[in-house]
Amino acid sequence: MTTPPSVVGVDGCRTGWVCAYTTAHALHIETLHSFSVVRDLAVELDAERVLVDIPIGLPETGRRSCDSIARELMGSRAATVFYAPVRAVLDESTHERASAVNRAQSGYGLSVQAWHLVPKIREVDAVLQTHPDARGRILEAHPELAFRAFAGEPLSAKKSTEAGRSRRLELLRDEFGDADPEAVYRETVAQTYRKDVARDDVIDALVLAASARRPLESHPASPPTDATGLPMAIHEPLTSTREM
């Protein structure tokens, strides 16, 4: 039998990055301190694809169409998708100044939640600027959009609730027929502190790894690129009911 290629799903956490990845028929999770090390892991694994829940490709002005499309697809759960900041925000050191710059260049301020993502955005952007060869391998995705694809609709139960986690783990079991994502999830939760790695971080990394095993649809289909040549696109897994 042909060995399936390795893939990696990545979500940010307080101490760095949670990486769910496959090797042959096994599923693993590691917490790594920097995105540069995440990239090194992908190279070591010769991973076919790395999906990360962080904006890749930043506008100079206005808002990204991929964020608007993702919010529309999420319906009543649209608020789970944050609008990416303009690139100039990466040069700012305070939320107040970053929000003012974002408002001047896009017409909108920057939420506190989006500001907290900026250090992670800087990390991913630095890797992609330094290693252009990684651009075709490391792609942006969104966990809730992925769960929407697997469930056939946006999940109404929030991932912070026990019901929400149970539903997401159920969907993950269907996607990893050759591994036990719930066992990997529970092992990771038992071995980490919640102040370092939230339960949501682990589940989000797992669903992005599951997504990376499938063909992907890009939103928009023909994405524009930013000033550095990075595509501004969010990728969603194609399921059997949606494959084109």
Contact 155, 167 (CB under 8 A): yes
User: Could you tell me what percent of the chain has a pLDDT over 70?
Assistant: 97
DSSP 14: T
98 φ/ψ angles, rounded to the nearest 5 degrees? -60, -40
Domain boundaries, the chain: 7-55+138-212
More confident residue, 176 or 8: 8
Q: Cα separation of 239 and 150, whole Å? A: 7
Per-residue confidence (pLDDT) for residue 86, from 0 to 100: 98
The whole-angstrom separation of Cα 45 and Cα 41 is: 6
Q: 141: which strand partners?
A: 235
Residue with tokens 């992908």: 42
3-state secondary structure 19-44: EEEEECCEEEEEEECCHHHHHHHHHH
pLDDT in tens, 161-207: 999 999 999 999 999 877 899 999 999 999 999 999 999 999 999 99
By DSSP bridging, strand 49-52 and strand 7-13 are: parallel
Q: Per residue in 144-158, pLDDT tens?
A: 999 999 999 999 999
Indicate whether this model's pTM tops 0.85: yes
CA distance 244 to 221: 13
Extract the tokens encoding 105: 């260049």
Q: In this predicted structure, what is the pLDDT of residue 177?
A: 77
Of 85, 82, 80, which Cα lies nearest the Cα of 107? 85
pLDDT bracket for residue 239 (50, 70, 90) = confident
Q: Is pLDDT at 243 greater than 60 in this prediction? A: no
